[in-house]
Amino acid sequence: MLSLRSVSSSLSFPLRLLPRRSLSTPPITTLFSRMSYGPAPEDDTAARQWLQSHEGTFGAFIDGQWIKEGPTVPNTSPSTGETLSKTHQSPRSLLDLAISSSSKAFETWSTLSPHARSRHLYSIARNLQKHSRLLSVIESLDNGKPIREVRDSDVPLAVRHFYYHAGWAQILNEEMRDYKPLGVISQIIPWNFPLLMLAWKIAPALATGNCVILKPAPSTRLSAFLFADILKESGLPDGVVNIVSGDNDIAGKMVEDGRVDKVAFTGSTEVGKMLQRKVAGRNVKLSLELGGKSPVIVYDSADLDGAVEGLVNGIFYNQGQVCCAGSRLLVQENIYDKFIEKVKRRMATLRVGGSLEKNIDMAAVIDEAQRSRIEEFVEIGRGEGADVYQPTECPEEGCYYPPTLITNVHSTSRLVQEEIFGPVLVAQSFRTPNEAIKLANNSRYGLSAGVWTEQLGLALETALSVKAGVLWVNGHNNFDAAAGFGGYKESGFGREGGKEGLYEYMKLKWKPRGQKAVTDEIVARSDSWGKGSAAPLPSAPVGGGGESGDLLPAVDRTPKMYIGGAQKRPDGNYVLPVMSSDGKTLLGQVGAGNRKDVRDAVQAANKAAPGWGKRAAYNRSQILFYIAENLSVRRKEFAQRLDDMTGCGAEEASKEVEESISRLFTYASYADKYGGSVQETAFYGVTTSVNEPVGVIGMVCDSHDRPLLSFISMIAPAIVRGNAVVVAPSEKFPLVAMDLYQVLDTSDLPGGVLNIVTGESSVIAKTLAEHQHVDGVWYFGDVEGCYNVQKRAANNMKRTFVCSEERDWMSKEEGEGEEFLREASEVKNIWMPMGESMSGAGAAY
């Protein structure tokens, strides 16, 4: 080489040493003919040095100290199988230490000024940014994902979350005036986005004044350890963030510990349900980001090539190991063949390679277990006769699975129903928008969805009709700290990001801190809870006999159930007595609702819910005002009834009726003032959060002394926000609610929007909590009821709103407001890119 060069140019150019050329690389002229991509690996020297600085061993990070106790397990690189380092699995004693540390730190951290906390978060953001390349390489090595994704997506988003929440910390007292931090938070994060999930969890928790114990996933801990080093550098006070490195046993303890105020979890639905059961009744707040089987709907009006790229970002991003992966392709039948052809063609150009390679589209899956799981699913497909398309070659060493398209597969297949968590796309066709929406919603999950069309009307209608927390129009996997992320249905509850995410880490100031004791007895008799007691026998006549001086019996007006806008006789044909406050007089009787009455009511509610939810807010508001108006007309009668039942006295009874009318006014007002907002994301387009109805909400009112007001306070926010409700009124004082259905009938409330089932609270609560066609359940009662409702609600991951404290319904602070509106809503974030005109050469690419 040298000689060749020097011969041709020795006169004009001085001799220099030539850079080393790899002997194994073919001659450049050959490469010129081939025009193939060569290797382009990211340098991992700095990452190796960091691992070495810890002597290749990690443990727990507690109170600002590294504690290396417990047996060690290796950290391996999925891309090569190489052992990168090892980690001591924290024994239980260390978890105790961590929780104590967080509890102690909370005392000072929560009382810091907002500005001080903001400064700390800002410092973390800055330092993360400074070490972004090191973080990227560590994450890529440890998780096996492409360096490009970590560098361009995971790390910048993690940084963004800290900046964003540094902002919330600064203005927290103004923006969250009525709220306070929860306390100590247990956070359990998954392996698919180790650093990003850490950021999603820690940033909002710290910004709102909480302290955390974080447990990274056993297979991906290194970025959390590096984060710990960065926290030291950032000057965060010790104990505000503690990191433990355990397995599922430690995770269980993190949830069970009596000092924990909240559990935040991202992971599988199966584990999510287990956690929902574990925290049931204990006044431990819970947020869950779980699985998904998110649809991507491609209409014939779409830019088909654009939609293909959407799939590349949707299902092949992070090897498909994304909870919101666009794994279910739904294509309009008239373009199905053409579109599938385009997908296949694009898939043939995807490249799979080592995680540090810079010219690949996909790298390694997390481990052999996951790889086999993916393979098993695909084999099921093959067994069912589906067509499997896998054009890509994978490296021979390491843990890889190629991009996969499965066609000729139907809704009945497990491949269509279940989350595969790998780069496997299943394709189905549809004929009409309605069918697309129906297929999209034909899932137990509801995390995200993609919609591809150039027709704005179709895009918006679809986005609002698919039940999912995140909707991408003409895109997929857009994220930003300023927009909440989280699911409907079995994809979990709670949101991360946006203002909506702050509520997950705060509670109203009047609410007490601390867990409720779910005793062993409560747990032991859980199976028999809600079975109901024996029906009462005939007794004295209602009202103690006939009307005064009259020998004739009173005209009986035993109320029936109010279901689907009509009065329905109780299925069991049993009645329950309603006694006066002194217990001496039988005021009346109500139907003893059983499982079938609840079933009928839920059916009616489900029938009414879609139409009611789509009504104009103005219309819903008018109906609520109308109910208030009609109640006002009969205020004396209602006051009398209240006094008869509760013995509160005429004045208090009258006040309760007046407050009920006021409360109806409050929520009628909120009908058109709580619709959502525009989120200020770093996205060229509009990201809008829409507060959608939860769907069908089952409710059980408390049996304290405000039976009308508590009833109104619960049903009004729910129905005004578009939900259909099945409600059990106060078990002790049900008559006033039953009087109300005559008011409802005269107020144009559509049948089925509000269904009233009387009877034993526990019987109704149990049935509601277990019913899969109920989306949320509100229970106001004792700890045992809260426990049983929350535990049973886990079967389909209902949102639960329970309260075992006696509320002062007469106070606005406790009895009405945002808390109820939030519980009545499900936040959907819709991402709509904008633009038709071409960007100039200076555009961001």
Partner 1 sequence: MSHHGRRLFSGAPISGSGQGPVGQEIVEVEGPTGGGDLSPGKEVTVKGEITDPTFGEKYNPGMPLDLKWIESVRANKSGLEMRAAQLGGRRTVKKDYQAAWLLRAISCIDLTTLSGDDTEGNVRRLCAKAANPVRQDILSALNVPSSFGLTTGAVCVYPARVKDAVSALSGTGIPVASVATGFPSGQIKLEHKLAEIEQCVEDGAREIDIVLSRDKCLRGDWEGVYEEVKLFKQACGPSVSMKTILATGELGTYSTVTRASLVCMMAGADFIKTSTGKESVNATLPVSLAMMRAIRDYYDASGKEYRVGYKPAGGISTAKDSLLYLALVKDELGDTWLNKEMFRFGASSLLGDCERQLHHNAFGEYAADYYMPSA
349 binds partner 1 (CB under 8 A): yes
484 binds partner 1 (CB under 8 A): no
Look up residue 421 and give its two tokens.
């968590």
Cα separation, 700 vs 711, in Å, equals 9
Buried residues in 18-27 as b, exposed as e (16+ CB within 10 A): eeeeeeeeee
Q: Which of 843, 473, 479 is nearest to 682 (CA)?
A: 479
3 state DSSP class of 371: helix
Q: Where does 567-681 have alpha helices with state H?
A: 595-614, 617-633, 635-646, 650-670
Q: Which of 663, 764, 765, 744 is nearest to 709 (CA)?
A: 663
CA-to-CA separations, 148 to 4, 41, 77, 356, in angstroms, rounded? 39, 11, 17, 8
Nearer to partner 1, 16 or 584 (CB): 16
User: Smallest distance from the beta carbon of 3 to partner 1, in angstroms?
Assistant: 9
Of 43, 454, 748, 808, the one binding partner 1 (CB under 8 A) is 454
Nearer to partner 1, 200 or 316 (CB): 316
Amino acid identity for residue 45 in this structure: T
How many Å separate Cα 139 from the centre of its chain? 25
Cβ atoms of residues 562 and 755 within 8 Å: yes
Residue 204, phi-psi category: left (phi > 0), alpha (psi -120 to 50), beta (remainder): alpha
Binders of partner 1 among 818-837, rule CB under 8 A?
Answer: 833-837
Nearest-5° Cα angle at 650, 647 to 656: 85
3 state DSSP class of 202: helix
User: Smallest distance from the beta carbon of 657 to partner 1, in angstroms?
Assistant: 55
User: Smallest distance from the beta carbon of 36 to partner 1, in angstroms?
Assistant: 6
333 binds partner 1 (CB under 8 A): no
Residues 6+ apart with CB under 8 A from 161: 196, 199, 200, 203, 204, 481, 497
E strand residue ranges, 182-284:
184-188, 211-215, 241-243, 262-266
Site pattern 645..684 for partner 1 (x: CB under 8 A) = ---------------------------------------x
Q: Which of 208, 210, 212 is nearest to 175 (CA)?
A: 208
Count of residues interacting with partner 1 (CB under 8 A): 68
Nearer to partner 1, 304 or 631 (CB): 304
Cα separation, 645 vs 639, in Å, equals 10
Q: Could you tell me the sign of the dihedral formed by the alpha carbons of 739, 743, 748, 749, in that order?
A: negative
Nearer to partner 1, 2 or 616 (CB): 2
Cα separation, 314 vs 472, in Å, equals 10
Site pattern 262..301 for partner 1 (x: CB under 8 A) = ---------------------------------------x
Nearer to partner 1, 148 or 620 (CB): 148
Of 31, 456, 540, 633, the one binding partner 1 (CB under 8 A) is 31
User: Smallest distance from the beta carbon of 427 to partner 1, in angstroms?
Assistant: 19
30 binds partner 1 (CB under 8 A): yes
Binders of partner 1 among 180-199, rule CB under 8 A?
Answer: none
840 binds partner 1 (CB under 8 A): yes
Binders of partner 1 among 114-153, rule CB under 8 A?
Answer: 148, 151-152
User: Smallest distance from the beta carbon of 731 to partner 1, in angstroms?
Assistant: 55
CA-to-CA separations, 374 to 327, 329, 330, 395, 426, in angstroms, rounded? 13, 18, 21, 17, 13
User: Smallest distance from the beta carbon of 227 to partner 1, in angstroms?
Assistant: 23
Parallel, antiparallel or unpaired: strands 825-833 and 685-693: antiparallel
841 binds partner 1 (CB under 8 A): yes
Please identify, among the stretches 345-353, 430-438, 570-578, 698-706, the one whose residues bind partner 1 according to the rule CB under 8 A: 345-353
Cα separation, 156 vs 138, in Å, equals 15
Nearer to partner 1, 12 or 45 (CB): 12
483 binds partner 1 (CB under 8 A): no
Buried residues in 300-323 as b, exposed as e (16+ CB within 10 A): bebebeebbebbbbbbbbbbbbbb
Nearer to partner 1, 36 or 548 (CB): 36
Q: Which of 428, 503, 421, 492 is nearest to 272 (CA)?
A: 492
Of 116, 348, 456, 535, the one binding partner 1 (CB under 8 A) is 348
Please identify, among the stretches 31-39, 245-253, 419-427, 803-811, the one whose residues bind partner 1 according to the rule CB under 8 A: 31-39
36 binds partner 1 (CB under 8 A): yes
Nearer to partner 1, 527 or 836 (CB): 836
Of 19, 383, 538, 583, the one binding partner 1 (CB under 8 A) is 19
Nearer to partner 1, 25 or 772 (CB): 25
139 is catalytic: no
User: Smallest distance from the beta carbon of 488 to partner 1, in angstroms?
Assistant: 25
How many Å separate Cα 207 from the centre of its chain? 20
843 binds partner 1 (CB under 8 A): yes
524 binds partner 1 (CB under 8 A): no
Of 92, 173, 247, 345, the one binding partner 1 (CB under 8 A) is 345
Nearer to partner 1, 358 or 373 (CB): 358
Cα separation, 757 vs 695, in Å, equals 18
User: Smallest distance from the beta carbon of 307 to partner 1, in angstroms?
Assistant: 7
Of 34, 92, 438, 636, the one binding partner 1 (CB under 8 A) is 34
Binders of partner 1 among 350-379, rule CB under 8 A?
Answer: 351, 358-361
- Which residue of the set 42, 139, 289, 819 is catalytic? 289
User: Smallest distance from the beta carbon of 454 to partner 1, in angstroms?
Assistant: 5
Nearer to partner 1, 38 or 81 (CB): 38
584 binds partner 1 (CB under 8 A): no
Of 305, 368, 379, 397, the one binding partner 1 (CB under 8 A) is 305
User: Smallest distance from the beta carbon of 203 to partner 1, in angstroms?
Assistant: 25
Look up residue 691 and give its two tokens.
């507060």
Cα separation, 316 vs 149, in Å, equals 11
Please identify, among the stretches 186-194, 341-349, 623-631, 741-749, the one whose residues bind partner 1 according to the rule CB under 8 A: 341-349
Q: How far separated are the first and last CA of the chain, in Å rounded?
A: 38
334 binds partner 1 (CB under 8 A): no
E strand residue ranges, 166-272:
179-181, 184-188, 211-215, 241-243, 262-266
Contact residues toward partner 1 (CB under 8 A) are 1, 4-5, 7-9, 12-13, 16-19, 21-22, 25-40, 148, 151-152, 301-307, 309-310, 313, 345, 348-349, 351, 358-361, 454, 474-475, 684-685, 833-841, 843-845
Residues acting as catalytic residues:
289
